[in-house]
Structure 1
């Protein structure tokens, strides 16, 4: 019982951390796509 009590907060912390990392990756990916389109647009000009 004590082991589970000790492990749970750590797992919760890691889940929170992975959520943060996922958000950062998603934002970076969207920005990269946007910049890619912008560069192509400028090169066509």
Structure 2
């Protein structure tokens, strides 16, 4: 229990960063998907 209590704040901070990163990647994925569907381009920059 002690161990978990000490680590939790660090993990929650990291989880927030991961969620932000996933949101940004998801946003760009949607944008590129729409772009590719509209123009028929089949390449991703990453």
Range into which the TM-score falls when normalised by the shorter chain: 0.7 to 0.9
TM-score by length of 1: 0.74
The 5-angstrom pairing of residues 1-45 of structure 1 reads 1-36=5-40
Moved over 6 A (4+): none
List gaps (5 residues or longer) in structure 2: 41-46
Output one character per residue of 1:1-45: Cα deviation in whole Å (capped at 9) or x when no partner: 111011110011001100000000000000001002xxxxxxxxx
Q: Supply the RMSD in Å over aligned alpha carbons.
A: 0.6
Q: Which has the larger radius of gyration?
A: 1
Between Structure 1 and Structure 2, the one with more helix by share is 1
TM-score by length of 2: 0.73
Aligned residues: 36
